[in-house]
Structure 1
Amino acid sequence: MMSEGTAHAARTPLGGSGISVRPVGLGLMGMSQFYGATDPDASVATIRDAIEAGVELFDTSDYYGAGSATPGRPVAGFGHNEELLGRALQGRRDRAIVATKFSARPTPEGRSFFDGRPEYVKAACEASLKRLGTDRIDLYYYHRLDPAVPVEDTVGAMAELVAEGKVRAIGLSEVGPDILRRAHAVHPVAALQSEYSLWERGVEAEVLPQCRRLGITLVPYSPLGRGMLTGSFSRGTEFDRDDFRSTLPKFQGDNFDHNRQLVDELEEFAASTGHTAGQVALAWLLAQHHDIVPIPGSKRLSYVRANLAATSVRLSADDVARLGALFDPARVKGGRYGALNTLADDTAK
């Protein structure tokens, strides 16, 4: 049953960077691509309203807008998401912690590759600063590893950006424990961004323990299972071709129906607490430890406010264990990515 539980920290530090944030941020990717139609003006308004509602950490990437869920479909363009955030932050920059990323680059054929060369790190940062309309990036992520460049070389270039005052702290995305160790030995890594939620638990075995050994904050993307854990989708839901979920095994056929049954149980539990399924799913993440900052994405202020309210949900140790058992990885059907197996899949979050 629900109990008083442990209170969530009012602020969560980003590693040892000296930066702290309120414990639920906002992922902006869906405002530019992957999850259906976009509306730039509405997105700018939502970001500004989110600031007023108390969101501090805003997560973007230079790549968001360059990729398409379906090959051949039109896209917003490389840098689109950063430009949205830059517009929204005019006159509000000091009220936001800006996190962006580099390394994913589009090809003329509509695919992508990853570039971790030191010279590209510098060029990408300068371009992001311009699009964002700022003189500093608070948290700069290496979006995906370039297999041709030692991580030490890439992180060394990122460290130079910190020394120059253009970047306050550095992060990595979707890397394993050994890469984390090697990167952290070059320059302190403040945050690791990886997929983590009730129904995607792959980081628990090795990555999350390594983060804690090194003092690195985990920033889970898709903490609501790309919307599934909110209970928004009914059985038989069909996603448009330009919706990335249409390619994902968890959202297809029998897998979808099976996983929706698990969400039914989550909704029943949430109703008994007086909260929504999404709020409970976020509270479960926050209950793991005070070193996790989920960044649920949303295009609507009502959802942003609902996500922020997850910090007031109190789960007992029994509640946390019960929810973890409900979404035991052996019970969830479908892998993370589908048969397309494109590089764009790896940058969709």
Structure 2
Amino acid sequence: MKIISSTDAWDFSDPVVFSLGMFDGVHLGHREIINKLLLFARREHRPSVLLTFNPHPRQFLSGACHWKYLTSLSEKADHLSNLGVDYMIVQSFDEAFASLSPEHFVGDILIKKLNICSLIIGYDHHLGRDKKGSYTHLKTLSLDYGFILEQQPAYRLCHRAVSSTNIKKALSERQLTWANAALGRPYSFYGIVIHGNQLGRQLNFPTANLAISSEKFLPAKGVYAVKVFLEEKEFIGMLNIGNRPTINSKETRIEVHIFDFAKEIYGHTLQLQLIAPLRKEKKFSSLADLKNQLQKDKEITRKILHDLMISQKAIK
């Protein structure tokens, strides 16, 4: 997949099959749109082009300073590339872009610059200033300009619409099973290993403290069973997100205990996949009680991940 820095940088003249949106998470609902995009592209023998925005339009329009994303731009690009999209345009969402009317956006950007022959949109998508470009409005414009317009209906999982907003809500409520199913993969994030206060070593549960992007969305505080990836090697472990109330800490820490692992990895980048929630964060009466609970957490984590491995083998 080739990444284009803006619509102004697009310099191809051939007609394209096109879609646009944030695609944050590249979840199952997004994949339905992308599958249709690729189907149309193959059928019409045209390249598939997807336009996404940076920052999120809602972040720009609301003035929010700390918008949280399910996928970083690079993670999104990796997922889209793996799905087979030919081009991703990353459009800066600024005052000039936000002020475009649906007519100007379609006529000046989609037709004159990008030369679209088909447009695939989601069920809740609106184009242009003040979201005036509804499906009905776009249908009229498609007839005026002669391009095919296709709207993908909502994708539902367990009677719940799959959307980035609903996935964030599920993660915030520790509903990891639904969130992972809606994503089509375990929710994951990357972190750089930094120095901590080494309390875990005192408890015989050494942890890797992680620094992650301030824009990354985090699930609810608590303990999770996770898979850990380091330099293409896979490990298992348990992750804690929280303030460590047993030692009266106020600082939120993200730390992972990797099972059967003893290397120094400061400065290395880990990828963590969240597999299952274990428990909420809790204040224990002593470090000894905390250590006993960590041992129980470890045993439960081993069982969860062992059972997962068995079930995956059975499916294969």
**Fold shared by both chains (TM-score > 0.5):** no
Higher helix share goes to which structure? 1
Higher strand share goes to which structure? 2
Of structures 1 and 2, the one with the larger relative CO (CA 8 A, separation 6+) is 1
TM-score (structure 2 length as normaliser): 0.30
